[in-house]
Amino acid sequence: MELSKAVALILLSWFLLLHHFHHASAERSVYIVHTDKSSMPKAFSSHTYWYSSMLKSLKSVAQTSLEGQNSEPKIIYTYDNAFHGFSAVMTKAELQALKKSPGFISAYADDVVTPDTTHSYKFLSLNTATGLWPASNYGKDVIIGVIDTGIWPESPSFRDDGMTEIPARWKGICQEGEQFNSSSCNKKIIGARYFNEGFRAQLPDLSIGVNSARDVDGHGTHVASIAAGNFVDGVSFFGYAPGTARGVAPRARLAVYKVLWNGGVNSDILAGIDQAVADGVDIISISLGIRSSLLYENPLSIASFGAREKGIMVSLSAGNRGPSVRTIRSGIPWAVVVTSGTIDRWLAGTLTLGNGKVITGWTTFPARASVRNLPLVYNETLSECSSSELLSGAPEQSIIVCNLTIGNTDFSSAMNNLPESNVRAAILIAEEPPIFRSNLFPFPGVVITPTEAREVINYASRSSAPRATIDFQQTILGTEPRAAPALSDDASRGPARSYDGILKPDLMAPGVSILAAYYPHATGPRIGKNIFLSTDYTLISGTSMACPHVSGTAALLKAAHPEWSPAAIQSAMMTTANPLDNTNQPIKDMAFDYTAATPLGIGSGLVDPNRALDPGLIYDVSHQDLVNLVCSMNFTREQTQTIIRSSHNCSTPSADLNYPSFVALFSFAERGRTLTRRFQRTVTNVGDGAARYRVKLETPENTTVRIQPQTLVFQKKYEKKSYVLTIRYKADIETQNRDGSLTWIEENGKYRVRSPIMVSAGADNFD
C-alpha cells in the first residue's frame, strides 16, 4: 500500500471514530475549557490539581453512559503556554455546572481538524486563536455590498447560523421578484435588489432570464461567499480540496445588488452602487470590468468617488486582460484595485510508474477513475494526440503520453480527442499557465512538465513492458511543486489606462482555483463529451475571485478599527502586504517563466490580514485630497464635476496624493533625459504610544533615491510626521520598468511599513 493511501486510511478511520464519538455517544463529548489562572486558589500547587478538583466537584451531576455504566468527567489535556485551560470528556449537564466554578471563562466543543476548501483564508494566515479574526469578531455586523449577478440564497454558505440581529442602522430591503421573495433574505443576506432598467432600455427585445436578485449565472454567488460566506462543513470540488468552506469575514453581512444580466450597462451599475451607498453598506466589492478607461465616464470611478465621500471603501478587480503592460482599465485612485495570485494548494493526480517513480501531476478530473497498473504507451507519432483518427492506433486499455509541447495540439483539443479513443487515461506534457487555472478535465489524466516528462519517456522507451498507475482526487498543500503566491498569467497589469500617476494594482490576493459557492444548476465540468456535471461549489479563477478577499479583509479591519477611514484601511493592507512567496523569495510571474514580478503586476504584494490589524503607521487621505487630485488631472470643468460634484472646488489642485506607494513616470518626449520627481508624504502613528522609525531603501536600477528626514520620532499615538522622497532617474526605455521600495522600520523591529517604488514609462509610450 502506498504511503499516501495508508495515511488517508488512518485519517479516515480517525474521522469516523470522532464522528461516532460525537454523535453515537452524544451524551458525553470533549470540550475545551478556558480559565483565568489568576483565580486559582493558593491551596493548589499547580493548575493541574486545580482543574482536577473542578471536575471532581461535578460528581453530583455525573450521568450514566449509554452502555449503562457510571462514568465521570475526565481530563484529556491541560494547557499552560498558548493559553490557560484544559480539555475534558464531560456531559452538557456537567459543563453547565462547571460554568459556575470560580475562574471559568468559556468552553466550546472539540471538533475534527480537516483540510479547508476556501483554503485561501488559511493561506492568508487567518486563524481562530490570534490576529484579525478574533480581534474583529470575524467581521461581525460589517455590511459588504456586492455588485454582481445576484445571489443564490439557498446556498449553505448564506445560512444565518450564529448571526445576531440585523444592525438597526441598516436601511436596505429584500426586494421581491421572480423566484425571490422576502424570505430569501435572512440575518446573513440582509439586503437584495436588482437593476435592469438600463439594460432593458438598451436591448428591449432581449428577454430577462430571472427578473430578480436571484443569481442564475454563479459569479455573484461565488464572489459573495468568498467575501463573507458562513461556515459550511464537508465541501469539495468532486473530491478535490475537501474540508470546511468559509468566507474571509464569515460574520459580516451581505447586501447584494444584481446589475448583470448576460451582460450589463453602466446605468444599472451606477444605480446599484448608488443604492448600496444609500442603504448603508460599509464596504463595496465589485468584480466586474468596464470598457471605458476615462475616469469621468467610468461608472465605477464616479460612483466609488461618492462612496468614499460617505466613508465607504470600494474594492475592484484589476481585470483579466494580462499579461501585457497597461491592461488595467479601471485604475481608479480612490478604489483598491486587486490582482490575482495562486495559493499553496495543488489539485493533483499522483502518477506512479512501474519502476516505483512517483510524479505529482495536475488534474481536476471529476471522478475517482480506476487507472491502475495499465500499459504505458509512448509513441512519437501518437504523442501529438492531434486527432481521434490518429489516436485510434493506440493500444486499448492503455495510458498514452501526449506531448503538447510539439505540434499544434493544445490542451482543449487533446481533451476533445481522447474520449474518442480506446485508451483509458493520458499523461499530458504541457506547461501553459491557463491549464493550471482550468477546472475542465473531461478525460482521466494528469498534466506534467517537460522536465518531469523526461523520466516518463525514458522509462516508457527503455522498459520492455512499461506500466503506470494514476490516483485522482489528491490535494497537496505547501511549497511543492511550486511556491506560492505567483502572479496569475492573465491578470491585468499597470500602468493603468485610466490614470497612471498612482501605482496600480494596489494588492494581490488569492484568485486562482478558488473554491466557493455557485449556482447549482449551471453546467459545470464534464466527463467525456456528453456527461455534464453540476455542483453547489466550484473552482473559478480570476481577479474577480481576488477582489472579495480584499473586501472581506477590509470588513474585518472595519470591525476591529471602526474609527479608521477607507484610506487608513487601504494603507494598512498595502504597507503590510508581503512581496515574498512562501519560500521567502520575490513573488514570481507565471506569464514570464516564473521570473520575479514587479509592482506593475502585484502592487504592494499579497495582502496579509493579521499584519494589517496593527500596521504601525498609516497614510491617511481626506476627501478634499481626492478632490485636489481630480482637479490636477487637466479635465474640463464639466468632466471634473462629473466626478467631484459641484459642492467642491478646485482651489488647490495637487497630483501628489498621500498614497502608500510611489510611481515615477516618463513620457515619450522625455526619453534619454534625466528627470527628478519629488513626493511628500505624511504618516500617522497608530501604534501604541511613542515610537522611533528609521528608513530602509531598496533603490531601483539606474536611479538615485533620497529621503529627508531618515528618522521619524513620534511622542504619542495618532501623532503625524511628514517626509520627502526625491527620485532622480533616467528616462531609459531599455530599462523602463524598474522597482524598489521604501520601508520604515520601528527601532525594536515590531513594525515594517513598506511602500513599493516604481519607475515606469507613462501612457504615451504605449499608445
CA 761 from chain center: how many Å? 30
Euclidean distance between CA atoms 726 and 678, whole angstroms = 4
Q: Which of 337, 325, 376 is nearest to 592 (CA)?
A: 325
Q: Which of 498, 671, 701 is nearest to 596 (CA)?
A: 701
Q: Give the three-class secondary structure for 59.
A: helix
- Identify each DSSP E strand in 272-335 by its residue range: 283-286, 313-317
Residues forming beta bridges with residue 191, ordered by sequence position: 255
Residue positions counted in the chain: 767
User: Using alpha carbons only, how large is the chain's radius of gyration in Å?
Assistant: 28
Backbone phi and psi for residue 516, each to the nearest 5 degrees, phi listed first:
-155, 175
- Cell (9 digits) for 554: 477590509
- Cell (9 digits) for 85: 485551560
Q: Which run of H or of E encompasses 235?
A: strand 232-237
- Cell (9 digits) for 607: 495582502
Give residue 260's identity as a one-letter amino acid code.
Answer: L
**Do the bridges between strand 617-618 and strand 674-685 make them parallel or antiparallel, or are there none, so unpaired?**
antiparallel
Query: Which residue in the block uniquely carries the three cell numbers 487630485?
Result: 629
DSSP codes of every residue in 15-60? HHHHHHHHHTTTTEEEEEEEE-GGG--TT-SSHHHHHHHHHHTTGG
Euclidean distance between CA atoms 264 and 259, whole angstroms = 6
- Residue 148 known to be catalytic: yes
Euclidean distance between CA atoms 268 and 252, whole angstroms = 25
Phi-psi region of 137 (alpha: psi -120 to 50; beta: other; left: phi over 0): left
Q: Which run of H or of E encompasses 67?
A: none
∠ CA 549-552-558, rounded to 5°: 140
∠ CA 519-243-183, rounded to 5°: 40
- Cell (9 digits) for 678: 519629488
Query: Which residue in the block uniquely carries the three cell numbers 496579509?
Result: 608
Q: Which of 671, 675, 653, 652 is nearest to 663 (CA)?
A: 675
Euclidean distance between CA atoms 689 and 327, whole angstroms = 43
Intra-chain end-to-end CA distance of the chain, in Å: 61
DSSP codes of every residue in 198-215? HHHHH-TTSPPSS-SSB-
Q: Which of 116, 141, 148, 490 is catalytic?
A: 148
Q: Which of 570, 430, 433, 549 is nearest to 491 (CA)?
A: 433
Residues 6+ apart with CB under 8 A from 547: 223, 285, 286, 287, 315, 316, 317, 338, 509
Q: Give the three-class secondary structure for 234.
A: strand
Q: Which of 84, 119, 219, 561 is catalytic?
A: 219
CA 84 from chain center: how many Å? 33
**How many beta carbons lie within 10 A of that of residue 69, not counting itself?**
7
DSSP codes of every residue in 641-656? HHHH-TTS--SS--S-
∠ CA 292-298-300, rounded to 5°: 125
Cβ-count burial of 29 within 10 angstroms (0-12 exposed, 13-18 middle, 19+ buried)? Answer: middle
- Cell (9 digits) for 180: 425571490
Q: Which of 544, 551, 741, 760 is catalytic?
A: 544
Q: How far is CA 71 from CA 21, 25, 52, 61, 111, in A?
A: 15, 13, 15, 11, 22
Residues 6+ apart with CB under 8 A from 683: 617, 618, 619, 712, 720, 721, 722, 723, 744, 753
Active site amino acids: 148, 219, 544
